[in-house]
Amino acid sequence: MFGIARQGRGSRLAATGGRDAVIDLVRFFCLALVVVGHCMMVSPLLHADGTVTTQNTLAEQDWFEPVIWIFMVMPLFFVTGGITGLQSWRRLKAGGGTGAQFVRVRLLRLVRPAMALLAVMFLGLWTAGLLGVDPQVVQLMAAGAAMPLWFLAAYLAAQLNIPLLAACHARAPWLTLGAFTGLVVAVDCLRGALPILANANLVFLWCAVQQLGFLAADGYWARVSGSGLVGIVVSANLVLGIVTGLGLYPGNMLVNLNPPSLCLLLLGVSQAAVLELARPALAPLCSLRWVKALLSVAGACSLTVYLWHLPLLVGMSGLLLLTPIPKPESGTAAWWWARPVVLLALLLLLLPVVAALGRLEGRPTAAGTLGARPPAVAAGVVVVFLPVSAAALGGLSLAVLGAGAVCFAMAVVMLGGIPGRSRRAARPTSGGGRRRGRRGIASGVK
């Protein structure tokens, strides 16, 4: 059934190390879906006694459960991250780069935009508290607006381990994937007795899904026939239907997302196969000039958009509660008709944020700085994950936001990642050949 076909396309891509426009297009689609989905979820309510609560309007719809089964794209983010991450590591390694350099660049590219978000959120919410905003409202906004940060923490954990996981993958790809799958199942079995253990799947589950991307980067999915890929999709969803139908897991994939469970791995298998099936249809789109331009712009600011869209949405919705503007009741026809207006307003708010902060996503150089030394990189990782772990275990609060901003800033300084300074620090004092070699290492991480 899982016959061999189309052999070599994925392997050629991995060998050339070039950017895969199809992957860029898929990531853009996933990000757009997340932003649009959140516009249909966030619905703060101001009660007569002055208290504020939030209502997830979309999740309360009868048709939501089967739809989110199809459109839960978080596994696809990690599959594509595995593809690009493995290719970046191999390019860097081929140019003489080290694991410490890879970790440093990956850490800075994710932490610098998040540092700005945490700092602005802390200052904004702290100021709101000084102005007399109810602490319950401040806490609600902090928890709601910073929800995307769980993705950053999980993505960091998976990406920073790529040099180690790539070595395991090179030796035994299926054994590595099987080991992570076993760990995911073990955590799922034990989380009832020890609920805090469920957080371990933020690492085990997403690393397992990332391994699916490793397989794609090596052309495993490309060598499966079309009928075989369809069989994989059907089989994965059949198993998913069985485990949810038996009550072993909730049928709502949003519930299975936090903390993540085996259901997300099964979705990842299905989505990796669908991605390969969709390649012949998506590839021609990527050759269109306007699509290339769109992906170029979106790729330069995608993390900024992801991190900022929900805080801006929450802030905008909260401020509207204080105005006399008519606010339709959540879930009514008028509320749904207002969603395009909300989305347009959010996009307009994102434009100045991207213009001001998008450059923080710029690729830092990978070579020649003190920040690329293993002790500095290890210290940077520890400093970053201190507030991340606190937020995962105890929830996000104003104090954790402030501590996170300080820790992230410390990590950026330790890693020599202040924008505009890394390149000067990395410039060699002499030797043209040496200079060219360092540029080669820096260009290996994308």
Whether residue 44 is predicted with pLDDT greater than 90 in this model: the reply is no
Distance CA 169, CA 174 (A): 8
- Domain residue limits, the chain: 9-442
Distance CA 233, CA 105 (A): 35
Single-letter amino acid code for the residue at 6 = R
pLDDT of residue 361: 86
* Average pLDDT, integer, range 427-443: 44
* Average pLDDT, integer, range 202-206: 95
pLDDT per residue as tens digits for the range 299-344: 889 999 999 998 898 888 877 877 777 778 878 888 889 899 999 9
pLDDT of residue 140: 74
pLDDT of residue 18: 60
Distance CA 15, CA 6 (A): 16
pLDDT per residue as tens digits for the range 120-156: 989 988 988 888 877 877 777 777 666 767 788 889 9
Distance CA 184, CA 181 (A): 5
In percent, how much of the chain has pLDDT > 90?
50
Strands 52-54 and 44-46, bridge-based pairing: antiparallel
Q: Classify residue 383 as exposed, middle or buried by CB count within 10 Å of its CB (0-12, 13-18, 19+).
A: buried
Q: What is the pTM of this model?
A: 0.86
Distance CA 421, CA 419 (A): 6
Instruction: Say which residue, 31 or 425, is predicted with more confidence.
Output: 31
Lowest mean pLDDT among 165-169, 232-236, 368-372, 400-404: 368-372
Q: How confident is the model at residue 430 (pLDDT cuts 50, 70, 90)?
A: very low
Six token digits for residue 327: 């606010």
Instruction: Say which residue, 15 or 399, is predicted with more confidence.
Output: 399
Please say whether the beta carbons of 380 and 415 come within 8 A.
Answer: yes
Q: Helices marked H in 261-373 — which ranges?
A: 262-286, 289-321, 333-337, 339-357
Whether residue 368 is predicted with pLDDT greater than 50 in this model: the reply is no
pLDDT of residue 442: 44
Instruction: Say which residue, 270 or 199, is predicted with more confidence.
Output: 270
pLDDT of residue 371: 59
Question: Which residue in 304, 300, 351, 387 sits closest to 113, CA to CA?
Answer: 304
